[in-house]
Chains A and B, each alone.
Chain A
């Protein structure tokens, strides 16, 4: 009996903590937007330099790895596609499969997961360490709002850079598919490109980009909130880092599923 009540108590505690955390994330989002819009009026404007430096870390530094991963995904889709379509003797239809799945699904998803792992973890670790060494308190006593100074630039940079990386990912994924189809099916690059552009509509690209904006918000807010709430020294920072990556990726996959469902109805 005792263990049952204890379990129920633990469950209740967990639930209220989760709700609290959701509330925190929503507040963080609203506050970031507030500073973006009203910062200047309150003599606390968002520095362009801060956004640029975040954008470099989140986006520019991830260009090479994003390109390689999406290229590999393109090749992988081509291999699987050709193998499956062989059964129907419709190998050339692989272009359709690659074009749609890369732009709508794989490019935003892979980029999202990559950035969550690369930048989400580093944002959480950086903020966590700052929190532990009282740097965030220091900002506050200097009259510099920590959300305005630390969070808004990350959120803005993330929302700008993730769609850009996704466009790069789209291109590299299609290129990967083209390279493999060229080797395996002897489809020329020109023909592949022509067919791809025939298939793809603005909607397909937009679907991927909308997703990437949502993923950007998820990664930024989850890692920021985990970083801001660190307690418990170096171990706490480590925990927050892991947690923010796992949470970001889980939310990305779930959000992806929900979006895919609604956008394809």
Chain B
């Protein structure tokens, strides 16, 4: 099988806290994988590790067959040309217009002339239905438009891998559905492998080929939408049905937590 992303036994820490506990995951080319999990499940850390923004404690991440932890800076730079990322808040550069934002990767990585760059960036803005908004600053756009502009910037280099962090967060239902459709369209039209991190069930069910459920730094399961829906795992079911976690309380540990200051001194 032709794998776009391969993660082996990934362990990651923030300080002493273990955030990811031996995660392994394969994503075949052309798949839309949705990573789901509640807050604190480690999904943001997992995404940052995939993007090479956070160094893992141990384990391996292969993107397009290359181990990103072994790549030198130049090789990583080349790798990044094959990766597009749309961040949660868009992360558009506020001092640049929408058009300049979308053109930036082309300016920095290619030797194309201005006219070509303009045409390419307009094509991508056209894809996300933002033509005519080129000259506005990000501050003048609505939440949905910012996400779409960020998506246009992420795909302007025609990457093979697209990562999308919380596409529907903070959007109204209509804008959210539009964005989901856009993601599906991108995969079909441009044959991208897409990883979406979200906690929105509706959106996950709609776009996912497979869903990976992450909880407290562990993968509970990876499967198709139906497999996840029909899972008998209690934690998955409580995530799907929005139930509060009711974990068993360890009396000893609970007491330790309450009295830790007194103990330290």
Contact = CB atoms under 8 A, between A and B. Distances in A.
A144 B157 CA distance: 13
Interface stretch (B10-18, B102-110, B209-217): B102-110
Interface string A57-81: 0000000000000000000000000
B240 interface: no
Given A140-B53, A141-B53, A141-B83, A2 B265 contact: yes
Interface string B71-93: 00110111111010101110111
Given A2-B265, A140-B53, A141-B80, A44 B108 contact: yes
Interface residues of A, number: 17
Contact of A143 (B53, B81, B91, B92): B81
B74 A137 contact: no
A130 B80 CA distance: 20
Interface in A38-54: 42-44
Interface residues of B, number: 25
Contacts of B94: 129-130, 133, 135
Contacts of A42: 73-74, 77
A43 to B, nearest CB: 7
Contacts of A135: 91-94
B120 interface: no
B51 interface: yes
B180 to A, nearest CB: 22
A134 B87 contact: yes
Contacts of B73: 42
Contacts of A134: 87-89, 91
Given A2-B265, A143-B108, A143-B109, A138 B80 contact: no
A142 B104 CA distance: 9
Interface string B100-134: 00001100110000000000000000000000000
Interface string A113-152: 0000000000000000110011101101111100001000
Contacts of B78: 143
Q: Of residues B51, B91, B105, which shows the largest number of chain A Cβ atoms within 10 Å of its Cβ?
A: B91
B93 A143 contact: no
B91 A144 contact: no
A133 B108 contact: no
A149 B94 CA distance: 15
Nearest to A53: B95
A218 B94 CA distance: 27
Q: Of residues A135, A143, A144, A149, which shows the largest number of chain B Cβ atoms within 10 Å of its Cβ?
A: A143
B89 to A, nearest CB: 6
A134 B94 CA distance: 11
Interface in B236-259: none
Interface in B41-61: 51-53
Contacts of A44: 77, 108
A38 to B, nearest CB: 11
Contact of B87 (A2, A129, A138, A143): A138
Contacts of B80: 141-143
Nearest to B74: A42
Q: Of residues B51, B85, B108, which shows the largest number of chain A Cβ atoms within 10 Å of its Cβ?
A: B108
B104 A137 contact: no
A134 B79 CA distance: 20
Contacts of B105: 142-144
Interface of A: 2, 42-44, 129-130, 133-135, 137-138, 140-144, 149
19 contacts: A42-B73, A43-B77, A130-B93, A133-B89, A134-B89, A135-B94, A137-B53, A137-B87, A138-B87, A138-B92, A141-B52, A141-B53, A141-B80, A142-B85, A142-B104, A143-B77, A143-B80, A143-B105, A144-B108
3 closest A-B pairs by CB:
A143-B80, A138-B91, A134-B91
